[in-house]
Homo-oligomer: A and B are copies of this chain.
Amino acid sequence: MALDDSAPFARPSGRVTSREVAAATGVHQSTVSRALRGDSRISQATREQVKLAARQLGYVPNSSARSLRSQRTGIVGVMVPNIDNAYYPQLLSDINREFAAAGYSMVLIVDPPHRRSDVSRLESLLDASLDGLLILSATLDSDMPAVLHARGVPIVLGVRSVPGLDVDIMEPDNFSAGRAAAQHLQDLGHREVAVAMGPEITSTTTHRLLGIQSVLADTLPPERTLHGSYSHEAGYAACNRLLRGADAPTAIIAGNDVIAIGIMDAARQLGVAIPDELSVVGFDDIPMASWHSFRLTTVDMGTVAIAEQSARRLVERIQHADGPKRHEFFPASLTVRGTTTAPRKEPLTIE
C-alpha cells in the first residue's frame, strides 16, 4: 500500500485535513486544494512540496466536504429488483466495470416489487447522495422514474422500459426476440406451444409476449400462457403445471433463461426428455445457458451491450443534464443449442 499509515500527528478525532497539510508546507489551504486537484496555476515546485507533505501526513480529502462544495458525490445508484437471480450478477459486473472506469462508485439498491411507495426509500434517492440512477427494475406501473425525473435526478432506464417518459432508455428488442423464439419453434413443427413468462407488469414480458403472439396467435390459448416471477421456482412450478395437464405442450417458451432452467429442472425430475419430449427456449443467453448441463436454446438479448451502454449513457447524462434523450433498442439473436428439436409424435405420459 502506498500511503504512509504512520501519520505523525494521529489526531484522536480522526482525519488529517487540507489545513494541516497547508501548515506543514507553509502555504494556504487553498493552495493545497489546488495543488492536489491539478490546478495549472500552481507552480511545479509548490505542487511537489504539497504532494509530499500530503503523502507524509496521510492526507485524504474528505469526500463529504468535497461533495457539499462541488455538488457531486461520484456515486451512482443501480436499482435492481433482486440480486439472487442469475441474470443480474453478470449484468452488474459489466455495469460496475463501466462505472468504475468512469470514476464512479456504485450503490446497490434492491427494489423488490413490495416495499414500494415507501417514502424513506424515495428520500434517499433525492438527498443528493447520488449523482444519478440506473434503473433496471422499472415496472410498467411504477411512477418512481417519473418522480425522480421531475425532481431532476439524472436517470437511465436499462433493460426494462416505461412508456411515455422522456428519459434515456436502453432496452432489448423484445418484440423481435419473441418472434424469433416462436418462429424457431414453429419452423421445427411445433403447434402445441406454451409460454411461461415473467411478471405482466414488465416491459420485457409484455413485449416478448407480443412478439410470440404475432407468430403463434391462433395456436396460443390463454390457458397455455402463464405468468410468474422471473425465477427458477416459477419455471419449475409452471413446468409441472403444464406437463401434468391433459394436453401437454410439445414446447415451452420461457420468459427468460432462469425460468427456462427451472422448467428443465422440473422436466428432468418428471422424467421428460429434453428436447425429444419437450423443447424449451429461453431469453437472455446468460452464461449458465451455455453450460453443458443445459445447452439451452435461447435468444441473446444483447445484455452486455445494454449494460455497458446504459452505464455510459448515465455518465453522459450526469455531465449534460439536457441534451436529447436516446431510446435505443438492442438487437436480439437466436442462439440454437440443444433444447429444441422437432415435436414428439406421441402424447406425453407422466407416471
Interface residues of A (CB under 8 A from B): 1-3, 5, 14-15, 58, 60-65, 67-68, 71, 73, 75, 82-86, 88-90, 92-93, 96-97, 100, 105-110, 117, 119, 122-124, 126-129, 143-144, 147, 150-152, 232, 261, 264-266, 268-269, 287, 291-294
A86 touches B89 (CB 8 A): yes
In the bound complex, CA of A68 to CA of B123 (Å): 18
Q: Which of chain B's residues have a CB closer than 8 A to the CB of A61?
A: 127
A291 touches B232 (CB 8 A): yes
Given contacts A2-B122, A75-B129, A105-B124, 9 further A-B contacts (CB under 8 A): A1-B144, A60-B123, A64-B64, A64-B128, A68-B68, A82-B93, A84-B287, A106-B107, A261-B293
A150 partner, pick from B5, B64, B92, B96, beta carbons under 8 A = B5
A106 touches B105 (CB 8 A): no
In the bound complex, CA of A124 to CA of B122 (Å): 26
A122 touches B292 (CB 8 A): no
B89 touches A93 (CB 8 A): no
In the bound complex, CA of A58 to CA of B147 (Å): 12
Look across to chain B and name the residue whose beta carbon is closest to the beta carbon of A264.
B293
B292 touches A268 (CB 8 A): yes
Smallest CB-CB A-B distances: 6 pairs: A64-B67, A63-B129, A64-B68, A63-B127, A84-B93, A2-B119
A128 partner, pick from B63, B73, B269, beta carbons under 8 A = B63
Q: Which of chain B's residues have a CB closer than 8 A to the CB of A67?
A: 64, 67
In the bound complex, CA of A227 to CA of B176 (Å): 44
B152 touches A14 (CB 8 A): yes
B92 touches A108 (CB 8 A): yes
Give the Cβ gap from A150 to chain B, nearest Cβ, in Å: 5
Q: Which of chain B's residues have a CB closer than 8 A to the CB of A97?
A: 110
Give the Cβ gap from A21 to chain B, nearest Cβ, in Å: 14
B85 touches A89 (CB 8 A): yes
B93 touches A151 (CB 8 A): no
Q: Which of chain B's residues have a CB closer than 8 A to the CB of A293?
A: 261, 264-265, 268, 293-294
Q: Which of chain B's residues have a CB closer than 8 A to the CB of A110?
A: 93, 96-97, 100
A84 touches B75 (CB 8 A): no
Q: Which of chain B's residues have a CB closer than 8 A to the CB of A287?
A: 84, 232
Q: Which of chain B's residues have a CB closer than 8 A to the CB of A124?
A: 63, 105
